[in-house]
Amino acid sequence: MQEATFTELRSHAKDYFDAVEGGDTIRVFRNGKAIAEIVPVRTGIPSWKRQAQPLTIKGISLGGEILSDRQKSV
């Protein structure tokens, strides 16, 4: 992460935005306080929409165990 004062950002905006385009984050300070972070825009599919591997656990399936238990009580 790079850091820049507001004045530096204004004076060298192209350089800082080139860095952001390259994947870097810029933290901007004014009067010694952090006021903003410039981060790259995330592209692509959000994590909740990505194809995931199904969870597999060795042993009895919960659904199968519930059905088995229900059949025993009938």
- Under the banding of pLDDT at 50, 70 and 90, the label for residue 45 is confident
Residue 54: inside a domain: no
Residue 17: inside a domain: yes
Residue 71: inside a domain: no
pLDDT score for 74: 67
Mean pLDDT for the stretch of residues 2-28: 95
CA distance 10 to 54: 49
Q: What is the pTM of this model?
A: 0.56
- Under the banding of pLDDT at 50, 70 and 90, the label for residue 4 is very high
Query: How many separate domains does the chain show?
Result: 1
DSSP state of 26: E
Of 59 and 74, which is predicted with more confidence? 59
CATH code assigned at 26 = 3.40.1620.10
CA distance 15 to 63: 57
